Amino acid sequence: MADTNNRSVRLLFHPKHLHTGSNPRTHWLIGSSFFPPLTIASILYSSSLHLHIESEQLRSLIPKGFEVIGALTSGNDVVDDAARAAIEAARGLRKIMYGENDREVVGAVTGEGFGEVKFFVSESGNVNGFESVTEVIEEENSEKFVWENGCLLRCELPIKFPLYYPVRNTNDVEKAYVQATEAVIAKLRDPQTVYILESVNKSSLDLPPPVVVQGGELDFHVDLSKIRPLAEIDNGFDASSLLCSYFSVNSKAGSPVFSIENADIIQVSVLSNSLVPSSASAAPVAEYLPVQEETRLLFIDVKLDVLCYASKVLPLRHAISSLIIPGLVDQLNILQNSMLPNLLAQHPQLKPYHFSPPGVLHPITVFYELSFGETEMKQVEVRRSLHSRLGLPFDRPLLRIANALNFSKLRNSGNVSLQKGPSLPRDVHIGIPSSGVTGGTVSLVQGSYEYFHYLQDGYNDSGWGCAYRSLQTIISWFRLQNYSSIEVPSHREIQQSLVEIGDKDPSFIGSREWIGAIELSFVLDKLLGVTCKVMNVRSGSELPEKCRELALHFENQGTPIMIGGGVLAYTLLGVDYNEASGDCAFLILDPHYTGTDDLKKIVNGGWCGWKKAVDNKGRNFFLHDKFYNLLLPQRPNMV
């Protein structure tokens, strides 16, 4: 029977993610040495019953600075047995991954037989000794918790391995590759190696100068769990004692935004110094060593790309020795294990990419085989497996290469439009006043979009082009979510598509004819392969009756909706609905705006805002005598 203590577990995600249903496997709880003890940042679902296979996969997936701190398992009537199994699994995995078994670990048990998840903590390597945790704290602002006092370090390192091997004994090439990898690892720890650290925040004019850390200043035996005492010992007197906070960039006026995209990022470059100072003078010497048999030369090109998380109070030299170098070593070993079986054949073209999927607080790193196209089944299965491990939906391309973190754009001010020419307003609904619905539940479009409206790009479509503009906004949403890379089509290109599928006569191209929901669905299907659901409403007075269904659309699909009545079309971005009273409001993005792309003018003029079917003055936004069609685009089922 487990004892009970007064310690608490802190969750940085919603507890519902801990309920694994009927999945009998053990799952992994992820924390960080930089967080208070028993703080769980995420859960990664297991994909293998073998700890060694799990360790290899997690080693590449989890960035340095985060680590496995516990395990979750499904229980039965004997909770203590399940807790013991979870703790034993966590200790076994930590032993393989980190070579130690004396840190406290968390064991969590879930099951149908007992309501909420139960947590236990084991203070030592004794699996049988664990205590029940009585308090579970759900962090209200997890992003702030992680990124207010944390930062990212990134190191890119391309390497070309020249491998000589005898033609008659090709097995020697594998030995040569292993030796070359070991030589690189030794060089990373060499006192003569130099590490240059600098900020990647190109948008700030007040950047601190780069910092140079010599390999001889590194300490490879530092304990990251004692981070605060380390920061107090290092007083910042010289460059090697500077903290990661040295590169922190002060936020602009207003409330800071805490996220991976807005985190301080430190770029680390590696320089190898092969010249050793010597007091003795010597002339250059060239050695000629002829081979004894026919030999060939093979070049292996690899690109390491390591992303690490660190506390801002971590000294820079410890960030290199405890995070950057171990991360580089892990990637070298991962690439070696992948390439050795087919070194002389078509060896894998592996490249690491970093992602920040929704619901996962920390970045993840994925190796993709570039010799396969993204739509080939092998790549799809890899992504599907990753979606399963991370608990991600299977209808969103969250881990496609197009969705990888783009560090050249991070921390830069402003958004870049998808359109050529002047940038377009994006996500104009953010920050608008509330709807006025008392006790309502707000359901909104998920992701970013661009606002298209009358007269943009110098094209006069006033009076007839509102549905075209709504369609352009919808297509921009699919582009920004990386479902497609096509350009947002012009009015003429939209008309051309309808002619090509036989819906319109050739004379339609270049005309000023209106289009409606059906035509929009045809274009989305042709250009994007997107299917749509069409909802018919006999009059504007019936629209509030559809609020529940519209709320479900925004919660499950999250795409913008085109709503059309007569010759008018709007883009619907969300609903605010009180199920008990039936009161509701619609978040309307109006394409009939003809002014400049000034966000303040757009919002203050009511061109993006909440509309009630009948406002408090008895005015009808949706006309009672109009028949309305609503086009609800569906997310493609793709990973």
SS3 track for 106-161:
EEEEECCCCCCCEEEEECCCCCCCCEEEEEEEECCCHHHHHHCCEEEEEEEEEEEE
| Burial of 458 (C-beta count, 10 Å sphere; 0-12/13-18/19+) | exposed
Structure tokens, 265: 């990022």
94 three-class SS: helix
| Burial of 380 (C-beta count, 10 Å sphere; 0-12/13-18/19+) | middle
- The single-letter code of the amino acid at 192 is Q
Residue 102 annotated among the catalytic residues of the structure: no
Q: How far is CA 48 from the centre of its chain?
A: 23
Angle formed at CA 309 by CA 305 and CA 313, multiple of 5 degrees: 135
- Which entry of 155, 244, 466, 547 is annotated as an active-site residue? 466
- Cα gap 602→596, rounded to integer Å: 8
Number of alpha carbons in the 13 Å side-chain half-sphere of residue 631: 28
- Which entry of 234, 264, 461, 590 is annotated as an active-site residue? 590
226 three-class SS: helix
289 C-beta neighbours (distance < 10 Å), count:
5
DSSP conformation class of 299: E
- The single-letter code of the amino acid at 399 is L
Structure tokens, 322: 């405890």
State the Rg of the chain over Cα: 29
SS3 track for 183-211:
HHHHHHCCCCCEEEEEECCCCCCCCCCCE
521 three-class SS: helix
Q: What residues contact 266, with CB distance under 8 A and at least 6 apart?
A: 151, 152, 153, 154, 197, 198, 199, 200, 244, 247, 316, 319
- Cα gap 38→90, rounded to integer Å: 14
405 three-class SS: coil
Give start and end residues of each alpha helix (H) in 291-347.
316-319, 325-339
Please state whether 400 falls in left (phi above 0), alpha (psi between -120 and 50) or beta.
beta
Nearest alpha carbon to residue 476 among 465, 467, 468, 484: 484
- Cα gap 553→572, rounded to integer Å: 11
- Which entry of 17, 19, 347, 592 is annotated as an active-site residue? 592
How far, CA to CA in Å, does 357 sit from each of 386, 467, 483, 539?
Answer: 11, 32, 15, 40
- Cα gap 528→522, rounded to integer Å: 10
341 three-class SS: helix
Residue 503 annotated among the catalytic residues of the structure: no
Q: Are 585 and 443 in contact (CB under 8 A)?
A: no
Active site amino acids: 466, 590, 592
